[in-house]
Amino acid sequence: MEALDAHEAMSSQALNSKEVQAGLKDILLGPAKLYELLRGEPDASQAGQFA
């Protein structure tokens, strides 16, 4: 039970951090193109890679 409380506290601190939020945004929207990939819109350099 204490481990869950500790995990929740750390997660809340991280997600409330502007620096962490910016890092997550950069990862999700940056060069990895995760947003586009999840929408089924891989860029031309990846065409056919996920078929």
In angstroms, the Cα distances linking 25 to 4, 11, 22, 49 are 26, 16, 5, 24
pLDDT digits (tens, 9 = 90+) for 32-41: 788 788 888 6
**Is it the case that residue 16 has pLDDT exceeding 90?**
yes
Average pLDDT over the chain reads 80
Average pLDDT over residues 33-50: 68
Domains of the chain, by residue range, sit at 10-40
**Is it the case that residue 10 has pLDDT exceeding 70?**
yes
**Is it the case that residue 47 has pLDDT exceeding 70?**
no
**Is it the case that residue 48 has pLDDT exceeding 60?**
no
> Distance between CA 17 and CA 12 in Å, rounded?
9
Q: What are the DSSP calls for the chain, one per residue?
A: -HHHHHHHHHHHHHHT-HHHHHHHHHHHHSTT-HHHHHTT---GGGTTTT-
